[in-house]
């Protein structure tokens, strides 16, 4: 039996500000535009988690959705939902762009899913309905 994939979408709402100490105030403004507003702004982030693995002969599943929900809720939702991303320790030294957020979510979930014998194939995060970011791990 070969690999099949199970995907699930989640939503969380968070604030962020794109700003780096490596650039001057003017350069930050030029680079990040409205996203550099010192007071921050927010999004409803849509997170798509794609898991790959063998389909279990007894359950017909790659991963039990209830188990995946429990992991994502504990590891991602409780950490980021209704929070300011800039204040999370992950983003102390990194700009909370959605590129970096996709990598962070991948790195948080990957070891937890590995324990369930599931491969985290890809994280996709939609920041708005018109822009999205994907990360599939180090390859």
Partner 1 sequence: MVLLTRRATFSASHYYWNESWSAAENERIFGKCANKYGHGHNYTLEVTVAGEPDAVTGFVVDLKTLKDVIERDVLDVYDHRHLNLEVPEFAKTIPTTENIAIAIWRRLNAGLNVLPSMRSAKLARVRIYETTEIFAEYRGESA
Q: Which residues ranging from 10 to 49 are in contact with partner 1 (CB under 8 A)?
A: 10
Q: Tell me the sheet residues that pair with 50.
A: 7, 122
- Count CB neighbours of 7 within 10 A: 14
CA dist 33 and 27 (Å) reads: 9
Q: Which of 23, 50, 83, 90: binder of partner 1 (CB under 8 A)?
A: 50
Please identify, using beta-carbon distances, which residue of 18 and 68 lies nearer to partner 1: 68
* # residues contacting partner 1 (CB under 8 A): 19
Q: 82 catalytic, yes or no?
A: yes
Question: Has 127 been annotated as catalytic?
Answer: yes
Please, what is the minimum distance in Å from the beta carbon of residue 108 to partner 1? Answer: 20
The residue annotated as part of the active site, out of 27, 41, 78, 82, is 82
DSSP string, 104-137: HHHHHHHHHHHTTT-EEEEEEEEEETTEEEEE--
Mark whether 51 is an active-site residue: no
Tokens 């001057």 found at: 24
Residue 130 found at the interface with partner 1 (CB under 8 A): no
104 vs 13: CA distance, rounded Å: 16
Which range binds partner 1 by CB under 8 A, 22-30, 54-62, 72-80, 82-90? Answer: 54-62
Positions that interact with partner 1 (CB under 8 A) = 2-10, 50, 55, 58-62, 64-66
């Amino acid at each position: 039996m070969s690999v099949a994939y199970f995907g699930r979408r989640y939503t969380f709402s968070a604030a962020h500000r794109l700003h780096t100490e490596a650039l001057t105030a003017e350069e930050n403004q030029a680079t990040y535009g409205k996203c550099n507003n010192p007071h921050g702004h927010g999004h409803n982030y849509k997170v798509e988690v794609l898991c790959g693995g063998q389909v279990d002969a007894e359950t017909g599943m790659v991963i039990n959705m209830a188990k995946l929900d429990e992991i994502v809720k504990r590891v991602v939702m409780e950490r980021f939902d209704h929070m300011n991303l800039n204040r999370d320790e992950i983003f102390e030294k990194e700009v909370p762009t959605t590129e970096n957020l996709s990598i962070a979510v991948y790195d948080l979930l990957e070891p937890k899913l590995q324990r369930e014998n599931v491969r985290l194939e890809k994280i996709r995060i939609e920041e708005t309905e018109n822009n999205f970011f994907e990360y599939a791990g180090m390859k």
